[in-house]
Amino acid sequence: MNTLSYIIYLLLTWFITVHVGLIFYRNGKGYILNLLHGEEKLTLFINRTLLTGYYLLNLGYVTITIRFWKPVHTWTEVVSSICTMTGKIMCILAIIHFCNMAILLFISHRHENTNTNNKNIIL
């Protein structure tokens, strides 16, 4: 039963990780570009870094989850454990996504203040 649980969990987590990661990557580029007022290089760097971190976080979480997975013996336990583990990673990712957006907003405001100060010095 555990092997079947692992396979279902890995397929489900793989789908969520790849699908959501690519959505964040595509849509995040425009958002970050807007926050950084058109700085293409910094936007691409931040976006790639976030995607890499996202993939590594998921890979690490899945590895730890499978390592410490308790044995399951019934179909109810299989479904319950898969749903619990998947729900945990989705909640963790939502919190991390919120923190990333808050940090990017902070960077944007800091960048905006730096540009405003530089324009005042030049004038």
The angle at the Cα of 91, spanning 51 to 94, to the nearest 5 degrees, equals 45
Sign of CA dihedral 20, 108, 34, 102: positive
How many distinct structural domains can be found in the chain?
1
Residue range 10-33: mean pLDDT, rounded? 88
Could you tell me the residue range of the domain that residue 35 belongs to?
A: 2-122
Exposure string of 6-24, with b = 16+ CB inside 10 Å and e = fewer, is: eeebeeebeeebeeebeeb
Q: What is the pLDDT of residues 61-82, one digit of tens each?
A: 888 988 888 888 999 999 999 9
User: Which pLDDT belongs to residue 56?
Assistant: 92
How many other β-carbons are positioned within 10 Å of the β-carbon of residue 108? 15
**Do 32 and 17 contact (CB within 8 A), yes or no?**
no
User: Which pLDDT belongs to residue 121?
Assistant: 55
Residue range 73-99: mean pLDDT, rounded? 90
User: Which pLDDT belongs to residue 120?
Assistant: 56
Q: Give the mean pLDDT of the chain.
A: 85
What is the C-alpha to C-alpha distance for residues 98 and 121, in angstroms, rounded to an integer?
A: 35
User: Which pLDDT belongs to residue 80?
Assistant: 93
Residue 52 binned pLDDT confidence (cut-offs 50, 70, 90): very high
Nearest to 1 by CA among 77, 72, 56, 91: 72
Phi-psi region of 37 (alpha: psi -120 to 50; beta: other; left: phi over 0): left
Residues in the chain, overall count:
123
